Amino acid sequence: MKFFKNIFFVLLVIPIVFSVNAFASKTDLTVGLQLEPPHLDPTGAAAGAIDQVLYSNVFEGLTRFASDGSIIPGLAKSWDVSSDGTTYTFHLHKGVKYHDGSDMDANDVKFSLDRARAEDTTNAQKALFAGITDVNVIDSHKVQVVLDKPNGNFLFNLAWGDAVIVSEDSIENIKQNPVGTGAFVFDNWVQGDRIELKKNNSYWGAPAKLEKATFKFISDPSAAFAAMMAEDVDVFKSFPAPENLVQFEADSRFKVLIGSNEGETILSTNNKMEPFNNLKVRKALAHAIDRKAIIDGAMFGYGTPIGTHFAPHHPAYVDLTGQSQYDPELSKKLLSEAGFPDGFTTTLKLPPPAYARKGGEIIASQLRDVGINVEISNLEWAQWLEEVFRGKDYGLTIVSHTEPFDIGIYARPEYYFQYDSKEFQKVIEDLTAETNPVQRTSLMKNAQKIIADDYVNGYLFQRAQLSVVNSKVIGMWKNSPTQATDLTAVYWDN
C-alpha cells in the first residue's frame, strides 16, 4: 500500500510544482507554429512550414524579402543587369561561411540554381527558374545568370525560399540536417514536437540577438490557445483560431499583431463545367455571396474583402469589390436569364483549414438562398489535390492562394479552375517581359480587371496575418510577404 500512497503523493505534488514558472535568462524564444515541416529541404517541397522555420534563419538566397514585401539584397550584395535585361551579374558577399565551416562562393550559386531547374528536380516551384538558360561562374564571388528573355520578376523569384543557396557538400542530408549560411544553426529536431535552432556565432552579417530558438508544432487551435495562455510559447505565428484573439487583446501579457498576408481566399469555380462555363452563372454566384458575413463568421472579422485575385496591400491593387456586391435579387435574376430559374445543384469540396470549412458552410447557406443547392464534402489535403486540383472533379471549392503575387496562375488554362482567356494570357506575357515599373503597374491593373470582369472565381477576402506575441518580445514581423518567421532581429525587452 505504501507504493500507492507514494503515487498519490506524486500526483498531488505535480500540479503544485509546475504552476510555478521559473524565469530564466531571456535569450531563448519559443515560437508556436501550426504545421510541422515534412523535412528540412526548402528546395524540395512546397510545404510552407519548411520556410516558416528555415527561411532567412538558416538558409539565405541571393535576394530576400524584407518585412514590407520589398526585395532587398541577400547573399548578393549587389547586381548589374545588362541593357537588354537578359543577363544578371551578382556580386556575392565575401567571408560567408556555411554552418559546417566551408566557404560559400559562386560555385554554390551555380550548383543551387542548376539543381533547382534540372530536368529531374523535385523543386516545387520549378517555374520560378524556367527562364534561366545559363549560370556562369565568373570568379569566386561573381556569378552571371543568363535568361532567355527579360523577366521583370526575376529578382523577386530569387527571393523565394525555394531559391536559397545550398552547398553541394551537405546536400545529401539536407532533409534531416540542413546546413545553410544564416544567423541560426539547425540544432535538433524532435519529430512530431519541435525543432531547435541555436545562434550562429560566425555569421557574416549582423549576428542574431537570441541564443536559442525553438519552434514548437501545435496544430490544434485550442491547444495553441492554451499553450499561449500558459506562456509555454512566446510567439504564435499565424494563430489558427481568430475567435480567441479578443482574449489575448484584453490580456496585457500579450500583443496581437495584425498584418498583411499573401493569402487570397477565393471560391474557386470550375470554369469548364456546366453551368459555370456560363458567365451569367458565375456573375450570379458572385452576387449571391455576402463577403462581410463570411469574414465575420469564418474569420471573426479579420480579413479584407477583395474583388479580384490581388493583395490589397500591393501598390498596384484595384478595388473591384463594387463589381460583385451582395445582391441576392440580382443573383436570382441572372440565374433565370442564364436558364436556371429554379437554381441547380453543385458540389463544394472543402480542404481542411478552418477558413475553408467554416467559410464553406456560410457560402452554402448563402447560395441556398438564391436557389443553388450545394452539396458539401470535407476532404483531406491529399484527397483535395487528387480530386479537385489534379482531377478537376468539382464544381466549387474554397482555398487560400498563399504564394505572393500569383495572379499569373490565371494564365494557365490547365490550372484547376480551367480559365482560358487569350486576352489575359497576353497581358501576363507582356507583364513578365516588362521591366519598366510604370508599365508593369498598368499591366497588373489591367490583369486584375479582366479576371474580375470574367468573374472567374468568387473573390472572397485577403487573409490577415494574425500573430500573438508576448508583449516583451520585440522585432517580430507583422506582415507575411512570404512564409517566414525571421528571427534574426528578434529580442526580449527586459
Partner 1 sequence: MLEYFFRRVVTLFFTLVFASIIIFVSLEIIPGDPASYMLGINAQEDTVIALKKELGLDKPKFERYLIWVKGMLIGDFGVSYTYRSPVIEMVGERLWVSLPLAIYALLLSTIIALPVGIFAAANRGKILDFSIMGFTQIGIAIPNFWFAMLLVYLFAIILRWFSAGGFAGWEDGIILGLKSLTLPAIALALPQASILARVMRSSLIDILSEDFMKTARAKGLSFKKALISHGIRNALIPVLTIIGLQFSFLMAGAIIIENVFFLPGLGRLIFQSIAQRDIIVVESVIMLLVFSVVLVTFIVDIAYVIVDPRLRSSIL
Partner 2 sequence: MMPLLKNKNLSNLSFSFWVGSICVLFVFLLAIVSFFWTPYDVTSLEISNRFKTPSYNHFLGTDHFGRDILSMIMVGTQTSIAVAMVAVGIGILFGLPLGLIAAAKRGTFFDDLVMRFNDLIFAFPALIIAILITAVLGPGAFNAIIAIGIFNIPVFARVARGAALTQWSKEYILAAQVSGKGTILISIEHIIPNILNLLIVQATIQFSLGILAEAALSYVGLGAQPPIPSLGRMLADSQTMISIAPHMAIFPGLFIVITVLGLNLMGDGLRDYFDPKLKVSNS
Q: Which of 76, 104, 195, 379 binds partner 2 (CB under 8 A)?
A: 379
377 binds partner 2 (CB under 8 A): yes
162 binds partner 2 (CB under 8 A): no
C-alpha cell at 33: 507554429
Query: Residue 38: how many CB atoms within 10 A of its CB?
Result: 13
Grid cell 531571456 in the structure block, residue: 26
Q: Which does 360 bind (CB under 5 to 8 A by kind): partner 1, partner 2, none?
A: partner 2
C-alpha cell at 293: 458575413
Question: Between residues 280 and 357, which has the closer beta carbon with respect to partner 1?
Answer: 357
What is the DSSP annotation of 86-104?
A: -EEEEEEPSS-B-TTSPBP
Q: How far is it, in rounded angstroms, from Cα 469 to Cα 317?
A: 29
Cα R_g (the chain), whole angstroms: 25
What is the helix (H) or strand (E) element at residue 17, kind and residue range?
helix 2-18
Q: Which of 195, 149, 187 is nearest to 51 (CA)?
A: 195
Q: How far is it, in rounded angstroms, from Cα 457 to Cα 452?
A: 8
Query: Residue 22: how many CB atoms within 10 A of its CB?
Result: 5
Q: How many chain residues are in contact with partner 2, going by CB under 8 A?
A: 29
Q: Please choose, out of 136-144, 321-329, 400-408, 483-491, the segment that lies near partner 1 by the rule CB under 8 A.
A: 400-408
Q: How far is it, in rounded angstroms, from Cα 243 to Cα 28?
A: 29
Q: Which does 365 bind (CB under 5 to 8 A by kind): partner 1, partner 2, none?
A: partner 2
Q: Which of 103, 211, 232, 296 binds partner 2 (CB under 8 A)?
A: 296
Q: Which of 225, 384, 410, 477 binds partner 2 (CB under 8 A)?
A: 225
* Least distance between partner 1 and beta carbon 10 (Å): 8
* Least distance between partner 1 and beta carbon 223 (Å): 3
Show contacts with partner 2 in window 227-286 (CB under 8 A).
Answer: 240-241, 243-244, 246-247
C-alpha cell at 137: 561562374
Show contacts of 196-205: CB within 8 Å, 24+ apart. Answer: 197/53, 197/57, 197/58, 197/487, 200/99, 202/97, 204/93, 204/95, 204/96, 204/97, 205/93
Q: Which does 277 bind (CB under 5 to 8 A by kind): partner 2, partner 1, none?
A: none
Q: Which does 241 bind (CB under 5 to 8 A by kind): partner 2, partner 1, none?
A: partner 2
Q: Which of 71, 81, 127, 293 binds partner 1 (CB under 8 A)?
A: 127
Question: Between residues 154 and 203, which has the closer beta carbon with respect to partner 1?
Answer: 154
Q: Which of 104, 97, 105 is nearest to 141 (CA)?
A: 105
Q: Which does 377 bind (CB under 5 to 8 A by kind): partner 2, partner 1, none?
A: partner 2
Q: How far is it, in rounded angstroms, from Cα 239 to Cα 127?
A: 30
In sequence order, the 6+-apart residues with CB closer than 8 A to the CB of 122 are 44, 45
Pairing type for strands 396-401 and 458-470 reads unpaired
What does the per-residue mask of binding to partner 1 show for 10-49, with x meaning CB under 8 A?
xx--xx-xxx------------------xx-----xxx--
Show contacts with partner 1 in window 197-216 (CB under 8 A).
Answer: 216
Question: Between residues 379 and 411, which has the closer beta carbon with respect to partner 2?
Answer: 379
Q: Which of 6, 7, 140, 149 binds partner 1 (CB under 8 A)?
A: 7
Q: Please choose, out of 102-110, 276-284, 397-405, 435-443, the segment that lies near partner 1 by the rule CB under 8 A.
A: 397-405
* Least distance between partner 2 and beta carbon 205 (Å): 40
Q: Please choose, out of 14-22, 52-60, 145-153, 378-386, the segment that lies near partner 2 by the rule CB under 8 A.
A: 378-386
Question: Between residues 408 and 458, which has the closer beta carbon with respect to partner 2?
Answer: 458
**Torsions phi, psi of 215, nearest 5?**
-100, 120
Q: Please choose, out of 54-62, 263-271, 353-361, 418-426, the segment that lies near partner 2 by the rule CB under 8 A.
A: 353-361
| Burial (CB count <10 Å: 0-12, 13-18, 19+), residue 381 | exposed
Q: Which of 72, 138, 190, 246 binds partner 1 (CB under 8 A)?
A: 190
Longest alpha-carbon distance in the chain = 88
Q: How far is it, in rounded angstroms, from Cα 310 to Cα 352?
A: 23
Interface with partner 1 by CB under 8 A: which residues? Answer: 4, 7, 10-11, 14-15, 17-19, 38-39, 45-47, 119-127, 175-176, 190-193, 216, 218-220, 222-223, 225-227, 229-230, 232, 380-383, 385-387, 389-390, 399, 401, 403, 406, 409, 416
Interface with partner 2 by CB under 8 A: which residues? Answer: 220-222, 225, 240-241, 243-244, 246-247, 293, 296-297, 352, 354, 358, 360-362, 364-365, 368, 375-380, 383
